Amino acid sequence: MKIAVASGKGGTGKSTFSVALALANRDRARLVDCDVEEPNAHLFLRGGESTSTPVWASVPEVDASLCDACGKCTSFCQYNALALAGSAGLMVFPELCHDCGGCILVCPNKALSERKVLRGTIESRVIDGTLELVTGRLEVGSPSAPTVIRAAIENPPALRRRVTIFDAPPGTACSFASCVHQADHCVLVTDPTPFGLHDLDLAIEAIQGMSKPFSVVINRSNGDDDLASRHCRRRGIPVLMRIPERREIAECYSNGGSLLDADPSMGERLRALLDDLHFHVSGGPIL
Ligand code: SF4
Ligand code: SF4
């Protein structure tokens, strides 16, 4: 089973929840940090030897002696990564290229070939021999977050685990979609503020567009009558868990601790939560 933990905006506690869920279920779940522009799960999960794998992409390179400026490739490219510039001939903008390879195929003169460029890296670690963390990291300035997210998700597992948790990129742009699209269920983390609810609704709209089942976790909750709880009740959205607004949780977080460090009793609740999700998604227990 694959679960994406997402949020309509940053700062809701998405990574805090992902890390705690993985820690509480370390014997049966692995964590993939798909927030490739700003991965931070590793700040809470330290230790273990890291292996690093580069993520390459292929961008087109033009052989000007074969190009007759027919324009077939520029018409094909949906991302404006190619332009014909008069006497300068065909120009390639690798930072706009989404590595689809289509222009190379449509060129009638075989004037385009592949050039490898580095898009990011995948780091993999096993912490204390039990919890696997995979971190996708985008190269600075690279446009290809989905490429790196895909590589992180497809990175061969080091441990056999029945559940993979994706810490998804915040927001509702294409990197969010490329991660959530690969999950069986999406858990949306929100907070009980008007901004939180506004972005929660945007994320729900995006997820419904992908026909993905989803549920909500409310962080910094003041109980089952807070703004987010009432909002979810009104809309019939299932709330899996409320993480209370407590000073010791905030202090622990600011010192690099996890939810479980702040409140060890949270471990049992997070194990039960994963059991419930697995039952809901697969119709049976995690074996
Ligand atoms: S590989 Fe695809 S995205 Fe990149 S320049 Fe060619 S057509 Fe455009
Ligand atoms: S399709 Fe080929 S020949 Fe035509 S403009 Fe592009 S690179 Fe040049």
Which ligand is located closest to the Cα atom of residue 100?
A: 1
pLDDT at position 21 is 97
Span 87-146, pLDDT tens digits: 999 999 988 898 889 999 999 999 999 999 999 999 999 999 999 999 999 998 777 788
101 Cβ inside 6 Å of ligand 1: yes
pLDDT at position 98 is 84
Which ligand is located closest to the Cα atom of residue 80?
A: 1
Nearest C-alpha neighbor of 165 from the set 50, 46, 277? 277
264 falls in which pLDDT band (50, 70, 90)? very high
DSSP 169: P
pLDDT at position 165 is 98
66 falls in which pLDDT band (50, 70, 90)? very high
Atom of ligand 1 nearest to the CA of 101: 1
Does residue 75 have a pLDDT over 90? yes
62 Cβ inside 6 Å of ligand 1: no
**Could you tell me the pTM of the whole model?**
0.88
**Which residue has the CA at smallest separation from atom 6 of ligand 1?**
103
* Domain limits, the chain: 2-42+163-282, 64-110
Residues 8, 191 contacting (CB under 8 angstroms) = no
Span 217-258, pLDDT tens digits: 999 998 888 899 999 999 999 999 999 999 999 999 888 899
Question: What token pair was written down for 41?
Answer: 């799960």
Higher pLDDT, 174 or 183: 183
Rounded to an integer, what distance in angstroms lies between the CA atom of residue 57 and that of residue 273? 38
Residues with CB under 6 A from ligand 2: 62, 67-73, 90, 107, 109, 111-112
- Give start and end residues of each alpha helix (H) in the chain: 14-24, 41-44, 72-76, 102-106, 145-154, 174-180, 194-209, 227-235, 247-254, 259-262, 266-282
99 Cβ inside 6 Å of ligand 1: yes
Rounded to an integer, what distance in angstroms lies between the CA atom of residue 1 and that of residue 257? 27
Rounded to an integer, what distance in angstroms lies between the CA atom of residue 146 and that of residue 120? 11
Fold of 2-42+163-282: Rossmann fold (3.40.50)
Q: If one looks up domain 64-110 in CATH, what number appears?
A: 3.30.70.20
Sheet order of strands, 131-138 included: 51-62, 112-127, 131-138, 29-33, 163-167, 2-6, 185-190, 214-221, 239-244
Provide mean pLDDT across the span 204-211. Answer: 93
Task: Say how many Å lie between the CA of residue 73 and the centre of ligand 2.
Answer: 6
Which ligand is located closest to the Cα atom of residue 106?
A: 2
Question: What token pair was written down for 117?
Answer: 């460029």
How confident is the prediction for the chain on average, in pLDDT? 93
Provide mean pLDDT across the span 173-188. Answer: 94
pLDDT at position 221 is 93
Atom of ligand 1 nearest to the CA of 82: 5
